[in-house]
Structure 1
Amino acid sequence: MPPRPSRERYSIVRAFHAALLFLWAILLVPLARAQDEESPVPPAPENGVFDEARLFAREPQRLEAIAATLDALEAKHGFRLYFAIYDTLIGPSMNEQAATLQKNWLAGKPGLVMVLEVDSRQWRYSEATPIVEKLAPGNVVKGSSPSDLSPVELDKIDRELQAALLAVAKDPQAFAETLGTGVAGKVSEILDQRAAVSAGGNRLRITLLAIGLLALTGLVALLVVAGIRRAEAKSRERYAFPKVTVSMRLGAPYGGGKVSTREFGGRK
């Protein structure tokens, strides 16, 4: 019968294994982080669609339909929508991936990045790129661009597309096409409404300005006419002495004045 290992020897072996696992973990974590940090960001796709999942490899017509919708949106409103498609994201979340792509693809220009994970049928949007305005040395103010879309507007777009997406949920190619073209179309509608409101506001301001100018012109014309009439009235004025009845004075008609006498010398 072989001798049983002592308890001390067993404890030493366990401690050795634990130390190896600990060292292995210390070595793996930096390597994993380095791989995540050094993972290259792909260049911005010219057609606006980054199909990393090769979803449209056998159906290029669907890819062309999405690209045409994205190009039409940019041509009409100057708003670039990028659509990135992945099978499954390992490492960064969809929000993080969207933010990374936006930083490298848009570089502060008006636009949006939408990331789709095909396996989970989930998608996320990047955040709006703020406009940086320097008011004074050292003072920076960040504000939204007029072309930025708020989370409320993006949520409304998703809710409006739910029925169409559910209808094609079993077909990943149709799902991605419906999502890409649908979001681009809804974004175009929102920007159309903003343009209409802005144009209406401009027309209203122009109309009010025209009314103000007409009123000012009319007031000046009235003042000029009033001045001309006053000058004409003064030019027609005539002055005459009133008729006065004067009695006879000092024996002469129409005499006037005072009568006084003076004596010179003494009396005799």
Structure 2
Amino acid sequence: MKRPLHQVWIFSFVLAFALKAAAQDLPPAPADGLRDDTRALSPEVRARLAQDIATCRTALDADIWFTAGTFLKSGQSIRLQARTLRQHWSPGGRDAILVAYDRSSDTHGLSLSPGIWERYPSAEITTLIQRSMATMAEKNQPLEIRLSRMLGQMLQNLQTLEKQRHQSALTLSRHHLRLAQTFAIGLGGGGLFLALLGFLSRRQDVQAAWQSYFPSAHVGIRFGAPHGGGVIVEKSP
């Protein structure tokens, strides 16, 4: 059953208004990729991490975000917050990675865009996430050390994965080129061999079908015989 056109317009308007209102509740994207409402990071550590984020952004050609907050909204998990902020700060399906930390629950979550999951092996990304969890689980360490170590290691691992991806692409390209050359040579040689084999087979067929005929000769009657001799044929091997 189709809805009337005016109801469709009203529903679309309400949905757009709700999405806009929800977006207004979200904080703006930090210029340096790092937002720390917990004030757990000292100015020196924050500056160093911001530089590391900028370097990783250039290496991956993707957005890298880190946010640390003091509380979560009711009914919101840290993973949901990470995904919501990533989509808000990197719209349009741009490749992006966001790390979110909540101080009230002392938990963190990662959100990676679909392009990042397609770019790197899933096993490598899973290992990266597990390493971050192990670092943050060291509760005996101060929060600043855990956050800076976790984020620093993650940025280094991401750059390593990107280098491996480029090296793998170059290796595969050279390997594919050699395979293509070998295939072309084999294909050309095989075609030449088949052509020669066909020529020889055709020649044998022609020779097998060749026939010889006696020449037509008119011999007169000798000694009254209607089929007299007079023509001798001799065939030598």
TM-score when normalising by structure 2: 0.62
* Residue 192 of structure 1: aligned partner: 163
* Residue 98 of structure 2: aligned partner: 113
Q: Gaps (5+ residues) in structure 2?
A: 1-20, 201-217, 225-237
How far off its partner does 1:177 sit?
Answer: 1.0
Measured in 1, the distance between the counterparts of 2:124 and 2:24 equals 32
Measured in 1, the distance between the counterparts of 2:24 and 2:198 equals 83
Partner letter of residue 121 of structure 1? D
Measured in 1, the distance between the counterparts of 2:24 and 2:140 equals 31
Partner letter of residue 62 of structure 2? F
Larger radius of gyration: 1
1:216 matches 2:199: no
Q: 1:121 to 1:186 in 2, by over 3 A?
A: farther
TM-score when normalising by structure 1: 0.55
Contact kept, 8 Å, 1:80 with 1:110, in 2: the verdict is: yes
Measured in 1, the distance between the counterparts of 2:163 and 2:134 equals 23
Number of residue-to-residue matches in the alignment = 185
Measured in 2, the distance between the counterparts of 1:99 and 1:60 equals 27
Alignment partner for residue 179 of structure 1, among 150, 154, 173?
Answer: 150
Residue range with higher mean Cα deviation, 152-161 or 65-74: 152-161
Partner letter of residue 176 of structure 1? L
* Residue 160 of structure 1: aligned partner: 131
* Residue 65 of structure 2: aligned partner: 82
Measured in 2, the distance between the counterparts of 1:149 and 1:211 equals 30
* Residue 101 of structure 1: aligned partner: 85
Partner letter of residue 190 of structure 1? L
Q: Gaps (5+ residues) in structure 1?
A: 1-35, 132-143, 230-255, 263-268
* Residue 28 of structure 1: aligned partner: none
Measured in 2, the distance between the counterparts of 1:38 and 1:79 equals 22
Measured in 1, the distance between the counterparts of 2:171 and 2:161 equals 15
Contact kept, 8 Å, 1:110 with 1:145, in 2: the verdict is: no
How far off its partner does 1:199 sit?
Answer: 3.4
Q: Percent identity?
A: 17
How far off its partner does 1:123 sit?
Answer: 0.5
Q: 1:105 to 1:162 in 2, by over 3 A?
A: closer
Partner letter of residue 72 of structure 1? T
Pairwise CA RMSD: 3.6
SS of the aligned residue for 2:119 comes to coil
